[in-house]
């Protein structure tokens, strides 16, 4: 099969880690007889430098014309003094908007080989866990009406959700649960918030009518925050609103160990998605070949699974990463303090390519 992929490396370590993911995808394409055509576009600080804006039209058009987008990270101290629409991060919101991406997927799995890096008690971490947080991305309190009173001594933000917004993210979550262990936990605050009551009603209706094969349960967000630490192996897929998902996905990712390992995907109505590591542009290590490429490589694997429906190819990448880690290979961010034989970012990429070829 042939796919056109828009690469948006961005700033800082972005070009290094996207370059690694491209090598991995090219190797997988050769192995399975596919063709991936890559075109690179600028966004973030580098686009401000070249075009005077963080998200130039040429990037928007290129991403819209592609089958999927792989993004590195944007931002850095060079552009920190800029404000409002000129900030590099505006490129991310802009891309999500033009691509119509309303569902954010954040897997948080504990790689058995990295159990020692997990911050949880050993009796909890040794059980392992593999959860997927599905977060609504374009509604809720982050997009609701907000303001201050005239005196400026009171402010408000509004949480609002329509049935349509809830239905579409719920369906995305049920579909994902169907491909995993068929267990979906809907997280809300229905004991207090009216939007949460609508959320719960809607998710249950969709579950009963369209996904009776998926086990659905509800959990209040405060309890969910506790259970992710107490008993993460309980969860398979979690679906929740924009703000709750923002907080819980960061919490879940932190219990797995390094930020350099965590992938994400943003999806909408079509199969075209945007895939990116959860970390930022890490200006402190940019250009030093220290960045861990694994989060971006696993984001590429998610692209193959969710946008291109190539599960075998995605499994192959995930297995190679897991095998490299099980064999003890580490980058600086995941090494133990006394380990002096860790790999650079490019060496880690080569190691993963070697295991892919096995
Ligand atoms: P960051 O995620 O870039 O870095 C936090 C820490 O984690 C740093 O010590 C960094 O060296 C380390 N780190 C991050 N990725 C790593 C990797 N792959 N391998 C090894 N170590 C890694 O967060 P920050 O320092 O708060 O932000 C830096 C810049 O990135 C800022 O301009 C911020 O606005 C931007 N940012 C962008 C995104 C994005 O593009 N999605 C997300 C978050 C932050």
Of 10-19, 122-131, 185-194, the least confident: 122-131
Both 300 and 188 in one domain: the answer is no
The CB of 287 under 6 Å from ligand 1? The reply is no
* Last residue within a domain, chosen from 223, 255, 287: 255
* Last residue within a domain, chosen from 189, 224, 255: 255
Structural domain that includes position 329? 1-101+269-358
Both 144 and 230 in one domain: the answer is yes
Both 125 and 73 in one domain: the answer is no
* Last residue within a domain, chosen from 200, 232, 255: 255
Q: Which atom of ligand 1 is nearest to the CA of 292?
A: 19
Q: Is residue 25 domain-resident?
A: yes
pLDDT at residue 288 tops 80: yes
Torsion angle defined by CA atoms of residues 114, 226, 131 and 22, in that order, rounded to the nearest 10 degrees: -60
Tell me how many degrees the CA angle 264-124-127 measures, rounded to the nearest 5: 75
The CB of 89 under 6 Å from ligand 1? The reply is yes
Q: Which atom of ligand 1 is nearest to the CA of 74?
A: 40
The number of domains in the chain is 2
Q: Is residue 136 domain-resident?
A: yes
How does the average pLDDT of the chain come out, rounded? 95
State pTM to two decimals.
0.92
Which of 86, 70, 93, 68 has its CA nearest to residue 242? Answer: 93
Please give the distance, rounded to the nearest whole angstrom, from the Cα atom of residue 88 to the centre of ligand 1.
13
- Name the more confident of 116 and 142: 142
- Name the more confident of 143 and 273: 273
- pLDDT (tens digit per residue) in 56-113: 999 999 999 999 999 999 999 999 999 878 899 999 989 998 999 999 999 999 877 8
What is the rounded CA–CA span in Å between residue 18 and residue 24?
10
Nearest CA, atom 26, ligand 1: 280
Both 273 and 250 in one domain: the answer is no
What is the rounded CA–CA span in Å between residue 49 and residue 53?
8
Nearest CA, atom 40, ligand 1: 73
Of 46-50, 260-264, 290-294, 342-346, the least confident: 260-264
Bridge partners (DSSP) of residue 331 are: 343
DSSP 159: -
Both 247 and 125 in one domain: the answer is yes
Q: For 153-176, what is the mean pLDDT?
A: 97
Q: What is the pLDDT of residue 336?
A: 82
- Name the more confident of 17 and 253: 17
Residue 274: phi and psi, rounded to 5, are -120, 130
**Catalytic positions, please?**
142, 189, 222, 246, 250
Q: For 225-250, what is the mean pLDDT?
A: 95
Q: For 34-55, what is the mean pLDDT?
A: 98
Both 167 and 280 in one domain: the answer is no
Both 190 and 219 in one domain: the answer is yes
pLDDT at residue 161 tops 80: yes
The token duo for 49 is 């430098």
pLDDT category at 137 given cuts 50, 70, 90 is: very high
Nearest CA, atom 25, ligand 1: 282
Please give the distance, rounded to the nearest whole angstrom, from the Cα atom of residue 286 to the centre of ligand 1.
10
The token duo for 337 is 């303090």
What is the rounded CA–CA span in Å between residue 27 and residue 10?
23
What are the CB-based long-range contacts (under 8 Å, 24+) for 319-323? 320/24, 320/352, 320/355, 320/356, 320/358, 321/294, 321/297, 321/352, 322/111, 322/113, 323/355, 323/358
Q: For 312-320, what is the mean pLDDT?
A: 97
Q: What is the pLDDT of residue 272?
A: 97
CB atoms within 10 A of CB 31: 12
The kind and range of the H/E element at 319 are helix 311-326
Tokens 């297995």, located at residue: 319
Residue 336 to residues 45, 176, 321, 342: CA-CA distances in angstroms?
34, 34, 18, 9
Both 45 and 147 in one domain: the answer is no
CATH number of the domain where residue 148 is located:
3.40.718.10
The CB of 312 under 6 Å from ligand 1? The reply is no
Full DSSP string of 93-136:
HHHHHHTTEEEEEEEEE--GGGGGG--S-HHHHTT--EEEEEEE
């Amino acid at each position: 099969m042939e796919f056109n992929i828009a690469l948006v490396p961005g700033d800082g370590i972005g070009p290094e880690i996207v370059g690694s993911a491209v090598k991995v995808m090219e190797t997988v394409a050769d192995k399975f007889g596919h063709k991936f055509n890559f075109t690179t576009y600028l966004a973030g600080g580098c686009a401000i430098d070249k075009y005077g804006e963080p998200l130039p039209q040429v990037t928007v058009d290129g991403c819209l014309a592609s089958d999927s987008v792989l993004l590195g990270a944007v931002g850095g101290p060079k552009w920190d003094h800029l404000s409002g629409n000129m900030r590099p991060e505006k490129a991310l919101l802009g891309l999500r908007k033009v691509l119509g991406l309303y569902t954010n997927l954040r897997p948080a799995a504990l790689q058995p080989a990295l159990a020692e890096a997990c911050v949880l008690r050993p009796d909890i971490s040794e059980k392992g866990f593999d959860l997927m947080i599905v977060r609504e991305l374009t509604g809720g309190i982050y997009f609701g009406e907000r303001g201050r009173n005239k005196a400026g001594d009171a402010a408000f933000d509004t949480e609002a959700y329509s049935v349509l917004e809830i239905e579409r993210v719920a369906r995305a979550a049920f579909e994902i649960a169907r491909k995993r262990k068929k267990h979906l936990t809907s997280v809300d605050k229905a004991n207090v918030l009216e939007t949460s009551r609508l959320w719960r009603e809607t998710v249950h209706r969709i579950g009963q009518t369209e996904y009776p094969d998926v086990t659905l349960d509800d959990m209040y967000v405060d309890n969910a925050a506790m259970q992710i630490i107490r008993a993460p192996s309980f969860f398979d897929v979690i679906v929740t609103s924009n703000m709750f998902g923002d907080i819980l996905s960061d919490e879940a990712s932190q219990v797995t160990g390094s930020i350099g390992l965590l992938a994400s995907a943003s999806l909408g109505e079509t199969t075209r998605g945007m895939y990116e590591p959860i970390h930022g542009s890490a200006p402190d290590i940019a250009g030093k070949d220290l960045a861990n490429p694994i989060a971006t490589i696993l984001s590429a694997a998610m692209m193959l699974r969710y946008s291109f429906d190539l599960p075998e190819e995605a499994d192959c990448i995930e297995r190679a990463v897991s095998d490299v880690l099980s064999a003890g290979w580490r980058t600086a961010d995941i090494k133990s303090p006394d380990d002096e034989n860790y790999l650079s970012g490019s060496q880690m990429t080569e190691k993963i390519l070697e295991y892919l070829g096995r």
